[in-house]
């Protein structure tokens, strides 16, 4: 997919409580989801979010837990 609508107000309302790292993790995971048009593979989540430190991996885990649902080793997101 080359284009998706980004509803800034909805995003801001849903993510205002996130840390900078969590916000970036969420943004990168959502972009990866739309780019491939497929759920995020569990074993690729850190790589797709470019989480290369313990703190960033913790941020990815927090975002996955809050905004995604794990089904058959893939993270689904209801808005994608």
Q: Each residue of 2-39: pLDDT tens digit? A: 767 778 898 899 999 999 999 999 999 999 999 999 99
Contact between residue 3 and residue 40 where contact means Cβ atoms under 8 Å apart: no
Contact between residue 77 and residue 30 where contact means Cβ atoms under 8 Å apart: yes
pTM confidence score: 0.90
Strand partners, 76: 69
Query: Mean pLDDT in the chain?
Result: 94
The continuous run of DSSP H or E covering 70 comes out as strand 69-71
State mean pLDDT over 47-56.
98
């Amino acid at each position: 997919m080359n284009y998706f609508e980004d509803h800034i107000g909805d995003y801001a309302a849903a993510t205002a409580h996130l840390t900078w790292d969590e916000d970036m993790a969420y943004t990168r995971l959502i972009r990866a989801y739309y780019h491939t048009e497929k759920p995020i593979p569990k074993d690729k989540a850190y790589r797709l979010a470019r989480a290369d430190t313990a703190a960033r991996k913790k941020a990815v885990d927090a975002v996955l837990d809050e905004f995604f649902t794990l089904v058959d080793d893939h993270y689904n997101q209801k808005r994608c």
